[in-house]
Amino acid sequence: MKVKEQNQTLLLLDDTNKVIGNLEFTKTDNALIITRPFIESSLGGNGFAEFLLDRASEIGFCCKV
């Protein structure tokens, strides 16, 4: 799995580069405001949303949920 940032969205990609989830966001000076999280329904409950939040934090955002 990998995460790609594109147009104020973090895209969660599987091993074949298919988008399986995303987090849409707005950046401010000191926060990342998440406006729309999405994970494919068949993958729910597997920690992918948490993975995206962790990744957002790792790349230097201050996350407010």
21: three-class secondary structure by DSSP = strand
What lies within 8 Å, CB to CB, of 20 at 6+ separation is 12, 13, 14, 39, 40, 43, 48
Q: Is 12 exposed, middle or buried (0-12, 13-18, 19+ CB in 10 A)?
A: buried
* Residue 59 vs residue 11, higher pLDDT: 11
pLDDT (0 to 100) of residue 18:
95
Alpha carbons within 13 angstroms on the beta-carbon side of residue 58 total: 10
Q: How is residue 8 written in tokens?
A: 């104020």
The average confidence (pLDDT) of the chain is 82
How would residue 59 be classed by pLDDT, with cut points 50, 70 and 90? low
